[in-house]
Every structure is written in C-alpha cells, then in structure tokens.
Amino acid sequence: MALIVIVAAAGAAHASAAQGDSGAQQRRIAVVIDDFGNNMKGTAQMLDLPIKLTVAVMPFLPSTRKDAEAAYRKGHDVIVHLPMEPVRGKASWLGPNAILTSLTDEEIRKRVEMAIADVPHAVGMNNHMGSKATADERIMRIVLQVCKEKGLFFLDSRTSYKSVIPKVAAEVGVPLLRNDVFLDDVYTTRHVSKQIEVIRQHLGKHDSCVTIGHVGPSGLITSGALRGAIPGFARSASFVKLTQLLPPPTGLDYAGETQK
Ligand SMILES: [Zn+2]
C-alpha cells in the first residue's frame, strides 16, 4: 500500500513539473493554423511561436513541401488541409484537385490519396472550406475511409452545421476531433483578442479547446495576438498538438470514442 502511494505521488510530481505548474489540473489548448502551402503571409511568424502547433498544409501548391518540412523540423504536427467544395465561394479559392460533389467515387479517392502523398509527415487531415462537401455522406465516407487506411485522424473544421463528419467518422472508425473556436474570421487584432477570450471561457467549462487560425491576410495579426496571449495562459492551460488530444489507442475500434 505504502509503495503505491509513493509511486502515485512521484507520478503526480513528475506530471506537474512537466507542465510547469504547481499541481492545479491543466487545461489543454490545441492551436491549429490553416492554409499553409502557398507562401502565405505570417508563415514564418506562426512556425516560430514558442508553442507546439498543428500546421494544416494545402496540397499541390508552391510551398506545400517546404512548409510541411519546416513545421515538422520545429516539432509541430502536420496535417493535410484538404480543399473541399463550399456552398458559396469562388472556385479559385479552392486550389488544385479540390474535392467537388460532382466527382465520381474513383476520382475522389484518387484526389484524397494524392493529397496525402503530397504533404510530407501528415498525421491527420482537416477541411479547407467544404460547407457543401462535408454535408455529403457519399463524399465524406470516401474521404474518411482513405484516412482510416492511411492511419490519419480527422479534424472537423465545422464550416457547416450540416456536417455529416461525426456520424460517418464513427461508422468508418476514424479518430475525430472538432474545432471549437475560429480565431480570425474577422481580420482585426480586436476580433482575434476577443476570440482568445472565448477560448478562456470555453476552458471554464471544458478540459480542452481546439482553435483554428490562418496564415494569409490575417497571418500577422493572428500570430501577433497569439504571441501576446501565450504568457497569460501559463498558469491555467498548456498548449498541445492535436495528436495529444486523441484518445489513447486501445487496440479496439475507435468508433465508440469518436461519437461525441
Ligand atoms: Zn483553409
């Protein structure tokens, strides 16, 4: 009995030391940054933030490989940022080989496999846009089936409240995470700071928060606001990569774990 107590105490001491905290239970924040791969504004500033990120890289673009390699070298998680058809929006925003609802099953599978092969070190996937495609069960069943075959998890960016991703991911058995807070849907420091406050409130009710920001037009604003906010979370939360939020592998099917 005494031995068990000592081991447990040592374990707790180790855990709190690793978190740089005096023992209070740590909440976890996973910052995901979308739209890497096209030499976007803020790329270097995001990769150099003093926290671990999840870096979502679009396939088939000029700096796809370079950005994925740089993120991997810095210890960030790399995921494929798969372009998917929105209800509204210009086709030019989607980039090459996007997943469109007009494509055949074979063509969708081919494009998803090519996208994964094009982004080195990818351990997961999320959707770029996709309010139309993520509401389509035929499309999502193929996308998630390929993820399962390649051992990738999926992050539902939740660009549509009609997303079928939770239902289909549970059926296919793919580990699923979901976005809680969009950081920079408006490109101002004021808005991003407000969203950081939303993260703080979310953590009052939940153990973890997944938040999505972007390189591009908001890249410098968002990276600057994050850099400023990081010290304020030191006592209450730790920044983690998405893979650290996945349920531990049990050797059983994931489906039951991913229902929520
Ligand atoms: Zn995107």
DSSP per-residue string spanning 183-225? S-SS-SHHHHHHHHHHHHHHHHH-SEEEEEEESSTTHHHHHHH
Cα–ligand 1 centroid distance for 78 (angstroms) = 14
Please state the domain count of the chain.
1
Cα–ligand 1 centroid distance for 17 (angstroms) = 36
Within-domain flag for 14: no
CB atoms within 10 A of CB 115: 26
Cα–ligand 1 centroid distance for 35 (angstroms) = 5
Within-domain flag for 7: no
Within-domain flag for 84: yes
Cα–ligand 1 centroid distance for 97 (angstroms) = 14
The whole-number pLDDT of residue 159 equals 81
| Higher local confidence (pLDDT), 117 or 16 | 117
Cα–ligand 1 centroid distance for 201 (angstroms) = 25
Per-residue pLDDT, averaged over 139-144, amounts to 98
Cα–ligand 1 centroid distance for 232 (angstroms) = 28
Q: Is residue 198 left, alpha or beta, with left meaning phi > 0 and alpha meaning psi from -120 to 50?
A: alpha
The whole-number pLDDT of residue 250 equals 63
CB atoms within 10 A of CB 242: 23
CATH number at residue 128: 3.20.20.370
Residue 245 belongs to domain spanning: 22-258
Q: What is the pTM of this model?
A: 0.86
The whole-number pLDDT of residue 251 equals 56
Within-domain flag for 1: no
Within-domain flag for 15: no
Res. 6: pLDDT tops 60: no
Res. 10: pLDDT tops 90: no
Cα–ligand 1 centroid distance for 129 (angstroms) = 6
Alpha-carbon span 85 to 22, nearest angstrom = 47
pLDDT digits (tens, 9 = 90+) for 84-109: 999 987 777 888 999 999 999 999 99
Per-residue pLDDT, averaged over 165-177, amounts to 97
Within-domain flag for 8: no
Cα–ligand 1 centroid distance for 221 (angstroms) = 17
Cα–ligand 1 centroid distance for 256 (angstroms) = 29
Cα–ligand 1 centroid distance for 163 (angstroms) = 16
